DNA sequence: ACTCACAGCGCC
DNA sequence: AGGGCGCTGTGAGT
């Protein structure tokens, strides 16, 4: 467990914590049921049934008092508000928070965690009904908004109270409160970023594709460059039929050409000497660009100069976000040049440098490792401390420690790292051993890893000594499986805590951005709700992009940097670890880094 | 026609 | 014996 007790003071009480509104759901005839609550989840006034217009008015009026809006599912409700021009500052997402508390080791004895599965356990955000990626944004009809009709009226309130009770009774209520607030803020941000979209210039994208692939052709046809390469591949392999898009076909052709290989992976091809290899590698690269981010992708996902991916907070077990559609978390560097700020605007691109090692240093209170990263590149700091010779060695060794490498260069360097940073490496080892035993591990703020499934446990039990049926093969399989789970928990604790830091970072950026006003005259044509002022438009695990009027870019940079330090304090109190950022104000995404 | 697993590769 | 993902195309199954 990462749980040293330092930093307890980071848990500041939130202003206006008593001011809570519950949206209990919608009634059969489409009314919104709103209940004012106090901080223990008890009603302070009778529930009211409001039309959507009345509800919007209520939200706008109530926002003056910085309330926390409690509702079942931000991803379903908040887009309705955004489309109507209404933003909220604080939320509590019952579905996301339930998932955390259900699983957390810190609340394992709570009523919430011990109850039978209920509708609150229905898993990640429900799929949008509409197949059109943008319909939830622009064609909001109330008939299919996905909000529950006629829920048990007190159900949401009861769930909220169960959550409050579980947190209050836990050993770390402050951390959990912060986690739930951060997760909920993330849900608001996710909806806002989807709404705003990432500025995307289709002309630049098209030029880029044409330069690489040749002019656009009808779907199903190969663009010129790909066709040329396919021809060369067939020529060099002496096989006029081979289809380079088919692994099986390709593998057989390569073997017939005398190459011994078991797959067609690029890194395996690279090791071989054959005139077909170079065009084949080039073909794979370009075919990937065409299929993943080509013209079809552009037509599907770019609407009105904006890329609107759906972010899925809590979509990954570690607490990282996932996305649905568009592959937003895998935007290849090749196409980032098409991410371009509006006229008179800039992109502030910020990325947390060596985030996970810094998180590990803080989690384990490894002062030596934290010192290596103070005010400098952490890997360079490790080299400067004489632990290893090169930055690359430092990086490979650190990644090995966090991912569980045992062989190769990383495995060889690990002992040196362990001597220099025994606390940090001790924490990853402890997390791995817990996983190998089938136990859960818990992040800094209280998100616990899932327990292994039935078949995992059965395999382990089967291989226990003295089990009459156990064979050598069973034991090997069990050990290998145990180590796999150990690598998962080893990484979980670092990746999950880093995800928490990132949520706090973004929430803080968002909070401060709200206070900035766009200068007069910089408002472009599109200014629904909040997109006329600096706003977050992209998030990628340890990196954010803010779209801002050029005149405010410097202030935005300061906000982003300040927010990183604040996030560090929220998670780790006074522990002296730096969270360094690489920040750049640019016109297009590819100019950063 | 539709679903599914897999290979492969993009991102962190 | 390297953690977490999403997406595409292929090819096998229904």
* Distance (Å, whole) CA A453 – CA A124: 19
**Averaged pLDDT of chain A:** 85
As ranges, strand B nucleotides with an atom below 7 A of a protein CB are 7-12
Q: Is the CB of A475 under 7 A from strand C?
A: no
Q: Is the CB of A495 under 7 A from strand C?
A: yes
Q: Is the CB of A416 under 7 A from strand B?
A: no
Report the nucleotide nearest the CA of residue A320, measured to C1'. Answer: C4
Report the nucleotide nearest the CA of residue A494, measured to C1'. Answer: C3
Query: Cα-flanking dihedrals φ and ψ of residue A56, to 5°?
Result: -60, -45
Task: For residue A433, give Cα distances in angstroms to A394, A410, A413, A472.
Answer: 24, 19, 20, 22
Evaluate whether A427 touches A364 at the Cβ level (below 8 Å). Answer: yes
Please give the average per-residue pLDDT across A194-205, as a whole number: 94
pLDDT (tens digit per residue) in A35-55: 999 888 999 989 899 999 999
What is the DSSP-derived secondary structure letter of residue A344?
T
CA of A223 to C1' of C10 (A): 20
In 3D, which of A124, A122, A111, A104 has the Cα closest to residue A159? A111
Q: Is the CB of A293 under 7 A from strand C?
A: no
Q: How far is CA A1 from the centre of its chain?
A: 23
Please give the average per-residue pLDDT across A117-132, as a whole number: 60
Query: Cα-flanking dihedrals φ and ψ of residue A174, to 5°?
Result: -65, -45
| Token pair 């040749």 in the structure block, residue | A214
Query: Cα-flanking dihedrals φ and ψ of residue A305, to 5°?
Result: 75, 20
Evaluate whether A357 touches A369 at the Cβ level (below 8 Å). Answer: yes
Number of other CB atoms surrounding residue A283 within 10 Å: 22
**Residue A435 confidence (pLDDT) above 80:** yes
Looking at residue A145, its pLDDT comes to 40
Please give the average per-residue pLDDT across A199-205, as a whole number: 94
With residue A556 as reference, give the H or E element that holds it: helix A553-572
Task: For residue A520, give Cα distances in angstroms to A156, A344, A534.
Answer: 43, 12, 13
Q: Which residue is nearest to nucleotide B6 (CA to C1')?
A: A247
**Residue A88 confidence (pLDDT) above 60:** yes
pLDDT (tens digit per residue) in A252-276: 888 888 887 778 888 878 777 888 8
What is the DSSP-derived secondary structure letter of residue A351?
E
Q: Which residue is nearest to nucleotide C7 (CA to C1')?
A: A327
As ranges, strand C nucleotides with an atom below 7 A of a protein CB are 1-12
CA of A573 to C1' of B7 (A): 45
Q: Is the CB of A404 under 7 A from strand C?
A: yes
In 3D, which of A550, A113, A201, A485 has the Cα closest to residue A477? A485
Which CATH fold topology does A356-498 show? DNA polymerase; domain 1 (1.10.150)
Q: Which of A151-160, A178-187, A284-293, A306-315 has the lowest mean pLDDT?
A: A151-160
Q: Which of A149-153, A233-237, A503-507 has the lowest mean pLDDT?
A: A149-153
Query: Cα-flanking dihedrals φ and ψ of residue A33, to 5°?
Result: -100, 115
* Distance (Å, whole) CA A29 – CA A149: 8
Report the nucleotide nearest the CA of residue A124, measured to C1'. Answer: C5
Number of other CB atoms surrounding residue A367 within 10 Å: 15
**H helix intervals, A11-93:** 52-63, 74-83
Residue A237 exposed, middle or buried by CB count within 10 Å (0-12, 13-18, 19+): buried
In 3D, which of A495, A493, A497, A506 has the Cα closest to residue A566? A506
Report the nucleotide nearest the CA of residue A285, measured to C1'. Answer: B9
Q: Which long-range contacts (CB under 8 A, 24 or more apart) does A294-297 make?
A: A294/A209, A294/A213, A295/A206, A295/A209, A295/A216, A296/A219, A297/A326, A297/A327
Q: Is the CB of A14 under 7 A from strand B?
A: no
Q: Which residue is nearest to nucleotide B11 (CA to C1')?
A: A330
With cut-offs at 50, 70 and 90, classify the pLDDT of residue A130.
Answer: very low
With cut-offs at 50, 70 and 90, classify the pLDDT of residue A149.
Answer: very low
Report the nucleotide nearest the CA of residue A315, measured to C1'. Answer: C5
What is the DSSP-derived secondary structure letter of residue A12?
P
pLDDT (tens digit per residue) in A548-567: 999 999 999 999 999 999 99
* Distance (Å, whole) CA A389 – CA A78: 51
Q: Is the CB of A288 under 7 A from strand B?
A: yes
Residues near A247 by beta carbon (within 8 Å), at least 6 away in sequence: A263, A264
**Bridge partners for A230 per DSSP:** none
Q: Which residue is nearest to nucleotide C9 (CA to C1')?
A: A245
Catalogue the E-assigned strands of A146-296.
198-199
Please give the average per-residue pLDDT across A186-192, as a whole number: 95
Q: Which of A64-73, A290-299, A325-334, A465-474 has the lowest mean pLDDT?
A: A465-474
With cut-offs at 50, 70 and 90, classify the pLDDT of residue A207.
Answer: very high
In 3D, which of A520, A517, A502 has the Cα closest to residue A560? A502
pLDDT (tens digit per residue) in A361-403: 999 999 999 999 999 999 999 999 999 999 999 999 999 999 8
**Residue A27 confidence (pLDDT) above 90:** no
* Distance (Å, whole) CA A97 – CA A121: 11
| Token pair 């996983």 in the structure block, residue | A435
Looking at residue A128, its pLDDT comes to 43
Query: Cα-flanking dihedrals φ and ψ of residue A37, to 5°?
Result: -125, 160
Report the half-sphere exposure of A93 (CA within 13 A, side-chain side): 31
CA of A491 to C1' of C4 (A): 9
Report the nucleotide nearest the CA of residue A248, measured to C1'. Answer: C10
Q: Is the CB of A278 under 7 A from strand B?
A: no
| Token pair 């947390």 in the structure block, residue | A352
Q: For A573, left (φ over 0), alpha (ψ -120 to 50), or beta?
A: left
Residues 232-271 in A having a C-beta less than 7 A from any atom of strand C are: 243, 245-249
Evaluate whether A501 touches A567 at the Cβ level (below 8 Å). Answer: yes
**Residue A148 confidence (pLDDT) above 90:** no
**Residue A313 confidence (pLDDT) above 80:** yes
Max CA separation in chain A (angstroms): 81
Residue A464 exposed, middle or buried by CB count within 10 Å (0-12, 13-18, 19+): exposed
Report the half-sphere exposure of A505 (CA within 13 A, side-chain side): 28
């Amino acid at each position: 467990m990462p749980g040293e007790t330092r930093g307890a003071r980071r848990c500041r009480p939130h202003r206006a914590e008593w001011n809570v509104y519950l949206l209990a759901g919608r009634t059969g005839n489409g009314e919104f049921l709103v209940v004012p609550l106090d901080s223990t989840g008890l009603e302070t006034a009778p529930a009211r049934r409001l039309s959507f217009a009345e509800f919007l008015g209520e939200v706008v009026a109530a926002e003056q008092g910085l309330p926390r809006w409690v509702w079942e599912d931000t991803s379903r409700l908040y887009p309705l508000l955004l489309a109507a021009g209404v933003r909220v500052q604080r939320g509590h997402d019952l579905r996301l928070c339930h998932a955390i508390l259900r699983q957390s080791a810190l609340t394992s004895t709570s009523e919430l965690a011990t109850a039978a599965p209920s509708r609150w356990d229905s898993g990640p955000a429900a799929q949008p009904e509409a197949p059109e990626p943008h319909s939830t944004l622009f064609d909001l009809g109330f008939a299919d908004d996905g909000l529950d009709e006629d829920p048990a009226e007190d159900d949401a309130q009861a769930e909220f109270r169960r959550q409050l009770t579980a947190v209050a009774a836990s050993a770390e209520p402050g951390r959990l409160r912060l986690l739930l607030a951060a997760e909920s803020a993330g849900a608001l941000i996710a909806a806002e970023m989807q709404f705003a979209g990432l500025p995307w210039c289709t002309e630049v994208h098209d030029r880029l594709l044409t330069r690489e692939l040749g002019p656009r052709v009808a779907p199903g046809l190969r663009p010129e460059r790909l066709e040329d390469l396919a021809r060369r591949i067939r020529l060099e392999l002496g096989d006029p039929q081979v289809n380079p898009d088919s692994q099986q076909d390709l593998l057989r052709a390569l073997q017939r050409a005398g190459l011994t290989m078991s797959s067609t992976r690029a890194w395996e091809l690279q090791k071989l000497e054959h005139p077909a290899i170079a065009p084949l590698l080039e073909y794979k690269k370009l075919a990937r660009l065409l299929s993943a981010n080509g013209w079809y992708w552009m037509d599907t996902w770019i609407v009105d100069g904006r890329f609107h991916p759906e972010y899925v907070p809590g979509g990954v077990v570690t607490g990282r976000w996932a996305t649905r559609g568009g592959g937003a978390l895998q935007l290849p560097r090749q196409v980032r040049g098409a991410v371009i700020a509006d006229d008179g605007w800039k992109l502030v691109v910020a990325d947390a440098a060596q985030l996970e090692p810094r998180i590990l240093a803080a989690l384990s209170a490894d002062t030596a490792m934290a010192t290596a990263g103070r005010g400098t590149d952490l890997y360079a700091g490790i080299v400067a401390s004489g632990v290893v010779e090169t930055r690359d060695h430092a990086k490979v060794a650190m990644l090995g420690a966090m991912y569980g490498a045992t062989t190769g260069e990383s495995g060889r360097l690990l002992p040196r790292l362990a001597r220099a940073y025994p606390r940090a490496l001790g924490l990853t080892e402890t997390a791995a051993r817990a996983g190998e035993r089938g136990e859960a591990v818990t992040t800094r703020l209280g998100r616990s890893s899932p327990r292994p499934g039935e078949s995992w446990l059965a395999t382990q039990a089967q291989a226990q000594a003295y089990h009459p049926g156990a064979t050598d093969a069973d034991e090997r399989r069990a050990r290998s499986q145990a180590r796999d789970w150990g690598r998962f928990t080893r990484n979980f604790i670092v990746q999950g805590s880093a995800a928490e830091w990132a949520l706090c970072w973004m929430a803080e950026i968002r909070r401060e951005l709200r206070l900035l006003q766009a200068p007069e005259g910089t408002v472009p044509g599109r200014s629904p709700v909040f997109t006329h002022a600096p706003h977050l438009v992209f998030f990628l695990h340890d990196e954010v992009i803010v779209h801002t009027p050029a005149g405010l870019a410097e202030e935005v940079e300061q906000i982003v940097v300040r927010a990183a330090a604040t996030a560090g304090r929220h998670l780790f109190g006074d522990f002296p670890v730096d969270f360094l950022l690489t920040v750049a104000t640019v016109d297009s995404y590819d100019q950063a880094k």
